Structure 1
């Protein structure tokens, strides 16, 4: 622990940290090692692992505590020097639904406390919880250790319930109460956008002075129009290959004709993410111009999640009902390097979610130079600059998405304008900046007695 006056504090005192030495990061319901795009794994998984890596690079060690879903998992796994993932035995060794996880909060908390008890006093300087379930654990361990609790919600129940998709279930009262308790007791809250900050203050009564806005990042070395950065970071010649060279080459690598126009959806297949809107919009586009069928492809990269698990074949059936099964391609979730190729290959990426705290897919796509057509909700209004890096659509009428996509597909000048704007927009989001912002939030949390101790 780095101290202002160089003297170690009595345990439990509020102290001002120059920079925390060690952070206990809590991610109970999903492991940062899981492949994003299916089950409960998504943008939060990417956020946690990338943030942890950057914090370690800045000299702050991170231990991530997550629930073990298999007895074959090692108790600990070092990701990079300074980042360790701990698999906590709490509940059955299998994936279980989020509705069942509250029953295992006490077991998870007890194991986290046992781990810390094996260290010297004051081992962790900060607890950083992700999602409300981990926040419940964070309240207990931060109070016991006498350290600040910093919390990132990632999604908010009241926001989700206000914009439910057809066929989706509202978040239960248990989550609403638990989420409120975490927000009330955390020393600091980290919001991804100003919109999320307003949600925290207006819907949950969080004091504005306790909410820090820190945008998530994107790996700009992986998500690039012309492929991963060459060894040594030498980009000479990259700008000479033409704006479409990366897209055409990526299509060939993925098994498509280089002239194919690809509309891409990336994410978990569930009503909240609304991939059905893209399929209906594609059917509309073909209805407007039947000749388009021969050169258009719709690609869905992801797997069923949440309430989507109840109807895992719903999109396959919808494609058949719409008469476009021949042009719709379903791909399982893929690692980031392969995902970047899908973004490069796409003519446009569609993000029609009913709610998004940020919209990492939109930023990743833009970093690859691909325009985004997204719902004008939540963090997507920050991630996408309307008319510059993509198009924001109000509502979920497939015809409105078809209008936006048709212009991108048919007007080359407009598409290139958006592509250039997409790259510029994404350049402002980097994980190193995210880590520095989070460190500043940790510092602010440590300047006063933690609220968990006061309450």
Structure 2
């Protein structure tokens, strides 16, 4: 099957969407598919690990680059660029399926009848990660982005979501009809990470207990609340109520630390900023606990990585993916809500109890092993075939 995948960026870019795109592309290529990735973060064409990667970066002097600066209509720039590139390549050699993320709708202008089935794999919708306090201009801009996402979803021949709850929320948000094939498919983890994880024993030394956060300093990730929890726990370390701990923040530069964070709390925190995979792997090896108090995760990659490494996770019960990956497996503790006190309570239990950490680690390792590329490819191809059948039936 000849397939295409639209990606905002692609490795070595270190974003979650980039990682997801690589796993999808590599999984399909591993099952014999002819896979082409169209990505907006580069120019030129190159074969990367059996996948053809076509750069679609918008020229900074082109009209589309100027269009991107406009509110609302600026969201059309990337879909126009992707449409041109995909249809040009499709005319040369047809695709059976074109897949894209829902996030900001890169395939919004590829709906309709082009001879391929359009499939949308749902990440976090733009509406779920933006601030609620928006200016009039930004509200108009946000409405346009949401409309394009809904348009792409409605024009898709098939949908993929990461969990059942995620899928139900997507259907409600985009008002998708029940006739559109919709499948729950979890992502895989790269083989090199799984190899590192399987060869990473749990740290013997537990003074200080090392806690690892991976992500951006944003509201959806529960970052401010995690910093509030660090403040509370730092004050308890000073009184001797809690053993020493250290919080590593990967993906967060020092400039993003709260100005209100006390000097005492800062002594327990290292902001690493963006770092290569080697640093990520090293921090996982050194970590006793993973802090991932997100309000919502669509792919849940950090949960999957932590489980693969056998590291106990503190997550938030507000996140359905956390309830599935962490709550149902017992691979950590769910904070009741994404609040500083609830996150501190969950972290405190794991900081204080080596036995609790050991139990959560054991349950995490029992849950590991299901995040592989053959599974991802098999489930994805099944949905692709359903989408192709639905497209043909609708002619």
| TM-score range for the pair, normalised by the shorter chain length | 0.7 to 0.9
Note if 1:398 corresponds to 2:340: yes
Q: How does 1:273-292 map to 2 (within 5 A)?
A: 273-290=221-238, 291=240
Match of 1:110 in 2: 84
Match of 1:134 in 2: 106
Bigger RCO (CA 8 Å, 6+ sep): 1
Q: Give, in angstroms, the shift of residue 344 of structure 1.
A: 2.4
Aligned pair in 2 of structure 1 residues 450, 301: CA closer, same or farther (>3 Å)? farther
Contact conserved, 1:35 with 1:334, CA < 8 A, in 2? no
Match of 2:2 among 19, 22, 27: 22
Q: Give, in angstroms, the shift of residue 68 of structure 1.
A: 4.2
Note if 1:217 corresponds to 2:173: no
Q: Give, in angstroms, the shift of residue 355 of structure 1.
A: 1.8
- Residue aligned with 1:24, SS: strand
Match of 2:203 among 239, 247, 256: 247
Match of 1:9 in 2: none
Aligned pair in 2 of structure 1 residues 220, 434: CA closer, same or farther (>3 Å)? same
CA deviations on 1:167-189 (whole Å, 9 max, x unpaired) are: 99878111221111111111000
Note if 1:62 corresponds to 2:40: no
CA deviations on 1:202-228 (whole Å, 9 max, x unpaired) are: 33222345211111122365246xx46
- Residue aligned with 2:27, SS: helix
Q: How does 1:137-176 map to 2 (within 5 A)?
A: 137-139=109-111, 143-144=113-114, 146-160=115-129, 172-176=142-146
Q: Give, in angstroms, the shift of residue 126 of structure 1.
A: 0.7
Match of 1:339 in 2: 280
* Root-mean-square deviation over aligned CA pairs: 3.0
**Unpaired segments of 5 or more residues in structure 2?**
none
Question: TM-score scaled to structure 2, two decimals?
Answer: 0.86
CA deviations on 1:302-341 (whole Å, 9 max, x unpaired) are: 047xxxxxxx82415243x363112210113233343122
**Unpaired segments of 5 or more residues in structure 1?**
1-20, 230-237, 239-243, 249-256, 305-311
Q: How does 1:120-131 map to 2 (within 5 A)?
A: 120=93, 123-131=94-102
Distance 1:354 1:228 in 2: 26
Distance 1:203 1:245 in 2: 42
| Alignment coverage as a number of residue pairs | 381
Q: How does 1:303-314 map to 2 (within 5 A)?
A: 303=252, 313-314=255-256
CA deviations on 1:85-134 (whole Å, 9 max, x unpaired) are: 1101434289x8897442343233223222333x24xx211111123422
Contact conserved, 2:78 with 2:106, CA < 8 A, in 1? no
